[in-house]
Amino acid sequence: MVATDTHAIAAQGDGYYDKTKDGWFWYEDPPPELEPLDPIDQKETVSPRVLPSLDNYEVEDLWNMYPDDFQELLNVLQKKAVQNPTEQNIMEYLTMQDIARRKALAYTSATMYVTQKRGDLFSVNQVYPTAAPGISARVQMQNSEISKTINDAGYNHALIFFVSPGCGFCEKQVGILAYFKDKYGWPIKTIDITRNTNAASRFNVTVTPTLLLAKKGQDNYMTVSTGVITMSELERKLYRAIRYLKGNTGQKDFLMYDFQKDSPLDPESILNKSKQPWKKTN
C-alpha cells in the first residue's frame, strides 16, 4: 500500500480533509446545470437608429450653427431622405440646402464688401489690372522697368553664349543676340563647348544654346536661358537675373517688379505691421 502525504493532499486545495466536520460519508447534491441560452437570446439587442428632425430646431439655430455641425446634420438628413423619401424628409433636406445656399451668398457678399472697402490690402487690381486700359499701362510699366534695368547694368555685366558645331538652334539664337546687342550694346562672349571644355565644365553647361549672365569682377553668375528664346523673353529673364545678382530680389519675390513692391503681389509685405489690420492696437 502506497503511503499518502496528507500535507501534500491538503495543499492541493479543498478536499475532504478540509471538510472533516461533514464526516466520511458527506454528500451534497451537485449544483444544477444551467441550460444553454437560445441562440436568438444570445444576440445583442440593437437599438433602432434615432434620426434627427428639424422639428427640434429653430431657423435661427440652423443659421448660427457651427459649419462642421451644420454639415454633419445636412449629411444625416440627406441620407434620411434617400432611405425614406417622404415629403417631410425631403422638405427637411431641401430646407438645409437652402440655408446653406443663403449662408454662402451672405459670405460672398460680405467678402466683396471687405475687398472693395480695403482694396489696398487684398485687391491686386491696382498693380495687375484686368481691364484693357490697365493692361496696356501695366505692360508699358514693365517694359520700361526692364529696359532701364538692362541699360543700367550693361557697363559691368556680360552675356556668355555657349554653342556647339552643327547646332541649328544656336544659329537662330545668334540672330536674336545680334538684335539684342544693337539695342543695348552689351558685350557677348561666345564659347564653343567642344573646344573650351574647361569653361563648359566650370559652368556646368551640357546643352546648347545656353546663355549665362556674368558680373565683372565677381564669380557670381546665373543661367539666363537654355535653348532658343525670343527677344522679349530674353529681356524678361535677363532683367530678373540682373536684379537677383544685385540682391534686389530673392527666391520668394523673383517675379516681382519694382512698381509692385509693398502691394498684394509682394509676398512678404504682409509682414509689415501696417499691413495687419486685424491686429488690435492700443
Tens digit of pLDDT for each residue in 260-273? 988 888 888 888 76
Which of 49-53, 61-65, 183-187 bottoms out in mean pLDDT, i.e. has the lowest?
49-53
Q: Which long-range contacts (CB under 8 A, 24 or more apart) does 261-268 make?
A: 263/124, 263/126, 263/127, 264/121, 264/122, 264/123, 264/124, 264/127, 265/124, 265/127, 265/128
Q: Which residue has the cell 437652402?
A: 98
Q: Map out the domains of the chain with their CATH numbers.
A: 54-114 (no CATH), 132-263 (3.40.30.10)
Q: Is 79 within 8 Å of 116 (Cβ atoms)? A: no
pLDDT of residue 3: 47
Tell me, yes or no, if the pTM score tops 0.75.
no
For residues 118-134, one letter each, b for 16 or more C-beta atoms within 10 angstroms of the residue's C-beta and e for the rest, the string is eeebeeeeebeeeeeee
Mean pLDDT of 35-58: 74
φ, ψ dihedrals at 185, nearest 5°: 75, 20
